[in-house]
Amino acid sequence: MKRWAILVFLLSAAMQGHSQTRLANFPFAKPSISPDGRFTLESRSCVDHDCKDIDRKLWLVNNATNDRKLLLEIERNVRIGWAPTGNTFFLNDNLGSNIAEIYLYFPAEDRRVDIGESIDQKIPSDRHFENGSHHYFNALYWINGTSFLVKRFGHFDTEGAQGFTVCYRVNLSGEVKRLSQSGYEGSPCELRSK
């Protein structure tokens, strides 16, 4: 019984970063409130068959002032993950069947950072993954209040070409660290370094 308690403690400590990430999928999720309570992300989608226009928009609401700001129009779907501190969130924008991008939002500063572009600036040799491929960037979860795990994956469109998965740790300060690379599309990402 004592071993079981130790195992449960170790597993819960290892999963702490995962459990602190508040995730929501839009356009069909309920509103998502930041951990600090200052902001709400919401989407008002018309999915009823009687609707003439389908509104697929993601809005940011300042809970103190009730001001609403349109963040983006959703092409397919997006997934957001609030940082444990509540002052920022990542947004995975699944634009199409061959592309997905990541943005980092700082709501209080009214600022957005393109994480894929940041990664390519820090590690220019990885830009080649974008050429002639199905190319996806996804933030997986917050590791702590200042960094999160990113997965770049896909496959090249030429016959006989293999897939790829590259994993990164990205920091709010702009630091990018490559953790691993695999020749298979969809390989898992882990926090250990190369």
pLDDT for the residue numbered 192: 65
Which residues, other chains included, contact 125 with Cβ-Cβ below 8 Å and sequence gap of 6+?
A: none
Structural domain count of the chain: 1
What region does 38 belong to: left with phi over 0, alpha with psi -120 to 50, or beta? Answer: alpha
Q: What is the pLDDT of residue 108?
A: 93
Distances in Å between the Cα of 89 and the Cα atoms of 100, 141, 142, 155 are 17, 10, 9, 28
Does 26 map to a domain?
A: yes
Domain for residue 5, yes or no?
A: no
Domain annotation covers residue 133: yes
Is residue 194 a part of any domain in this protein? Answer: no
59 is in which domain, residue-wise? 18-182
Report which of residues 160 and 154 the model is more confident about. 154
Domain annotation covers residue 192 = no
75-93 confidence digits (pLDDT tens): 888 999 999 988 899 999 9
**Averaged confidence pLDDT in the chain:** 82
Q: Could you tell me the pLDDT band of residue 161, with boundaries at 50, 70 and 90?
A: confident
pLDDT, tens digit, for every residue of 36-90? 999 999 987 655 555 555 568 899 999 999 999 999 988 888 999 999 988 899 9
Q: Say which residue, 144 or 46, is predicted with more confidence.
A: 144
pLDDT at 46: 59
Residue 65 falls inside a structural domain: yes
DSSP bridge partners of 144: none
Rounded distance between C-alpha atoms, residue 119 and residue 142, angstroms: 17
In a domain, 187, yes or no: no
For 91-129, write each residue's pLDDT tens digit. 999 988 889 999 999 999 999 999 999 999 999 999 888
Asked if the structure places residue 6 within a domain, the reply is: no
Predicted confidence (pLDDT) at residue 193 exceeds the cutoff of 70: no
Q: What is the structure's pLDDT at 8? A: 31
User: Measured between alpha carbons, how far is 109 from 146 in angstroms, rounded to an integer?
Assistant: 16
Structure confidence at residue 45 (pLDDT)? 60
Q: Over range 158-183, report the average pLDDT.
A: 90
pLDDT at position 158 is 77
